[in-house]
Amino acid sequence: MKSFLMIRSFRISSGQLPIVNCLLPIACCLLLITSCSVNKAKVDNSLKKYFDDNKVDGCFTLLNNVDGKITVYNMALDTQRFTPASTFKIVNSLIGLQTGVITNDTMMIKWDGKVRIFPGGDTAKDWNKDMGMTEAFKVSCVPYYQEVARRIGRDTMQAWIDSVGYGNKNISGPIDSFWLNNTLKISPDEQLGLMKRLYFELLPFRKSTHEMVKEVMLQEDNTAYKLSYKTGWGFDEQKNNIGWQVGWIEENRHVYFFVTFVKAGPGNVDMRTIRKNITTGILKQLGFFEGKK
């Protein structure tokens, strides 16, 4: 298929879109996204060393949007679903902004006075204060987004999750923790499709909503490249550490979408360092960060 939307068949359902006037263009775009062949994926086992060096399992996927070529390490994990952890803040932000629960990227939510502790025992100092959406997204503040989810409510949240076609679409249980407790799950493959739809503003949200979330995802911006991503850290049912880094990198007006997924055993793991080291190492090996792609 020759199209700028060339991509492999991500497991994404278009669902019933709440915004009637965008049904036709979005439906057409989703048809293009979901109908291309999985055979475009090139397996690159040389990337295994980055996971081995950090003593973890995982997978990595990169989509070159120019030619639709996919590079993947560990296809088996790429299509399995796991807790999204804090990568769900992307969609939580989109829904919050679209529904008006989040009025703008500076909307403050007051700290409830409870001191949170990170895995490993460190105090979550960056969370223990009043903050707005942009800061909450950057420091991945769980309490902020739990309050956003409570204000959105179950029925509205479910309707938007169904419309986006997010993973297994299961938000049963407490409304403020379904993305943390292995109720809602998504695969690296599906995360990649979500990143592409967000970047090209093909999700069922206003243009301004897409733009605001893309803006808070931007982490590095210089003359050589722009790097945008969201991280996540959670645990599966066996208490294994689950880590994510999902987003895109832009060089010379070309965009490449990527997903790093990390799975480590139970216990204390420096997931923040590991997922960054793996992602940075792989992107460097693939020729990024020099403005030559």
Cβ atoms of residues 116 and 124 within 8 Å? yes
Please give the Cα distance from 289 to 238 (Å, whole number): 37
Cβ atoms of residues 241 and 257 within 8 Å? no
Please give the Cα distance from 57 to 264 (Å, whole number): 6
Residue tagged active-site, from 86, 93, 187, 228: 86
Query: Nearest to residue 64, comparing CAs of 44, 79, 84?
Result: 44
- Convert 35-96 into a string of H (helix), E (strand) and C (coil): CCCHHHEEECHHHHHHHHHCCCEEEEEEEECCCCCEEEECHHHHCCCECCHHHHHHHHHHHH
Residue 194: partners with Cβ closer than 8 Å, 6 or more residues away: 12, 90, 91, 164, 166, 186, 203, 246
3 part of the active site: no
- Where in the sequence numbering do the catalytic residues fall? 86
